Amino acid sequence: MLHKTINKSEFRKLVDLLMENEEVIAPKQIGSDIKGKAIHQYLPVSTFDEIDLDYEITQYSAKTYFLPYCENLSTCTFDDDDWTQNISYRLQPRILLGLHACDINALLKLDKVMTRDSFPSPYYVSRRKNTFIVGIDHEPCEGGFCQAVGADVVTHGFDLFLTDLGDRYFVAINSDRGFNVLSRVRIKNITQADTKAYLEARQALAPVFETPYMHNLPNLLDIEFESPVWEKWGAKCLSCGSCAMVCPTCYCYGVGERISMDCSSSYKEKQLYSCNLLDFASVSGGHNFRAKKETRLKYRYYHQHRGFSETYEEPLCVGCNRCGRVCLAGINPPEIIKDLQLEGIR
């Protein structure tokens, strides 16, 4: 990895240049909550002034630009004795600016499932390959626990990564695309003073992160499979699925085929789904393997912190706590995990 510095005025110039030809998605304030706290989303922007790089967290994750909530997988037209299928992948380049380390780590986890397993998704791969990612360091967000799941630092999965050093950014360059883009403006080689300032900035951030104790979680989950903790929290669950929709790593989906009334055409549609929804485990014949909401809630946690760890040796969760923030029933990972740990030593 190469490191350079770029003055903030030059960085602004760079973003302006990029906006001339490409779609730029960046954190943008869309309003405030009832306590006056800013609400941000990753949205298309057309001027640098629309971007707020000092944002705390976005309500929705950047997942939506790789796994849209709803997408058309293919269309078919039927003739008397033949049919034609059309599939198109998103190839237009796009720039995703201002992602925090946890959201880039979330993409790296999705990559493991969507690009490498037996059935890679060409829809995801085309979006990932055509997206230029610029990350940025940040103060921890309220309620987040990224450090506890090892997602507060990122070393790959981006093109450029910025650390704010006051009048300039310390830039980690992780791809030839990143290097080429930077050649359009003035950058500087790093000095000893830059390196010192960068390390100090990182050191200042580390202890500020909240770190709920998550050590040994896969084993704890195995032991507490029948714990009353699941009933306690499951009783509150509204089975709305919002947690999975805002989560940067939940990727469950359903596929449906819609056929026109005259049977001349059809389209196949993919919709993201949530394991908390009532019919998630319903099968033909009407049986529902997870009819109880506590069972569905439990399995979401087991996938995030147990099943994924078994397959990929790391949890799926990146600790952003978007699920906890969006949940109208107040269900959130730090409190559930704390309850399980207390249950284990009771």
Residues that bind ligand SF4 (CB under 6 A): 237-243, 247-249, 276, 297, 304, 317-323, 326-329, 331, 333
For 175-196, give one letter per residue: b (16+ CB within 10 A) or e: beebeebbeebebeebeeebee
Q: Closest CB to ligand SF4 among 133 and 327?
A: 327
Q: Residue 22 CB, nearest distance to ligand SF4 (Å)?
A: 28
Q: Residue 46 CB, nearest distance to ligand SF4 (Å)?
A: 29
**In terms of DSSP bridges, do strands 83-86 and 70-78 run parallel, antiparallel, or are they unpaired?**
antiparallel
What value does the CA radius of gyration of the chain take, rounded to a whole number of Å? Answer: 22
CA distance linking residue 239 with residue 277, whole number of Å = 5
Q: Residue 71 CB, nearest distance to ligand SF4 (Å)?
A: 20
Q: Closest CB to ligand SF4 among 138 and 322?
A: 322
Q: Closest CB to ligand SF4 among 178 and 234?
A: 234
Q: Closest CB to ligand SF4 among 140 and 319?
A: 319
Q: Closest CB to ligand SF4 among 151 and 171?
A: 151
Q: List the beta strands (DSSP E) in the chain.
A: 2-7, 23-32, 38-45, 70-78, 83-86, 94-99, 131-136, 160-164, 168-173, 188-189, 253-259, 265-272
Q: Residue 234 CB, nearest distance to ligand SF4 (Å)?
A: 9
CA distance linking residue 126 with residue 250, whole number of Å = 19
8 A C-beta contact, residue 136 and residue 162: yes
Q: Residue 242 CB, nearest distance to ligand SF4 (Å)?
A: 4
